[in-house]
Amino acid sequence: MQNATSRHILLVYKARHEKAAALAQEAAQWLRQNGHDVAGVICAGTDTPAYATTPLDFVVVFGGDGTMLGVARRLVGRNVPVLGINFGRIGFLTDAQPEQWREKLEESLTGMEPVRSCMALQWTLTRKGQQIASGCAVNDVVLSRGSLSRLVLFDVYIAGERLGSLRGDGMIIATPVGSSGYSVSAGGSLLHPSMEAVAITPICPFLNTISPMVFPGDTECRFQILQGSTDCYLTVDGQEGQQLELGDTVTVNGLPDAVHFLGKGTTFFERLRSRGFALQGTECIRCGENA
């Protein structure tokens, strides 16, 4: 299939997965034979400047939801869509199975595949008045206790107003895409991925002082670690994290239209039914783990 318009494409394959790596190499060869530029064929998790390639028309990910999350997080705000070829267990974020790769690539190269956009989260960590870390999340930002079965304690501020103090195992701040994972398993709401909203879900709250809530996507959520809290950790998409200290403040804001996925695929409700989600209700689609 010779295409008059040359595209610039990055291919990323799932770490420690020989079949995914082999198919990525096969796809790269096919793309070059058809006159397209391959910016690279890289292993997921590799720290490489290939993600910053300009121009970059789209990225093809050969992996599961965890691999998709890691790649999408690197592309937040870049308006570079991601096409997922599923090599994971669930494939909630991917759009095609391995045997469909050539068909999906042809459709993407000719502009036949639609692009759907989703929210992301931007987080910052402030310690003693200084911002010491920041980043983005596609699924969720989680504040949670360490290995000991002791509770964390922090103040919760929503849109600048103190909501109250939470004592429990932690708090999940999720995007609509991420709401189908850890958040819904902890009793949070399941949000349609097209929404611009931020969901907060307490994890095993003591006395249920704060309920699961959903706010507009531009709402600022702020959490300050209080005296009496046990070890507390910040985890991003189940893949990155760091330990917090007494007095630390974590601020989370929604980023609209920050992540872009290629392909129409099945509908949101079809995906839920095919995974048994609508029936089981409590199944955890934790995209950052074993995907």
| Residue 248 token pair | 């630390």
Cis peptide before 55 (omega within 30 of 0): yes
Query: What does the DSSP 8-state code read for residue 76?
Result: T
CB contact burial 179-205 (16+ within 10 A = b; e otherwise): bbbbbbbbebeebebebbbbbbbbbeb
**Whole-angstrom Cα distance, residue 159 to residue 251?**
11
Sign of CA dihedral 279, 284, 288, 291: negative
Query: Shortest CA distance to 114 belongs to which of 92, 101, 95?
Result: 95
List the one residue out of 105, 106, 54 whose CA is nearest residue 83.
Answer: 105
CB 156, CB 209: distance < 8 Å? no
Say how far apart CA 80 and CA 115 lie, in whole Å.
Answer: 10
- Give the closest residue to 75 by CA, choosing from 118, 28, 15: 118
Return the sign of the alpha-carbon dihedral for residues 4, 113, 178, 196: positive
Q: Which residues are known catalytic residues?
A: 65
185-192, Cβ contacts within 8 angstroms, sequence gap of 24 or more = 185/282, 185/283, 185/284, 185/286, 186/212, 187/212, 188/212, 189/214, 192/268
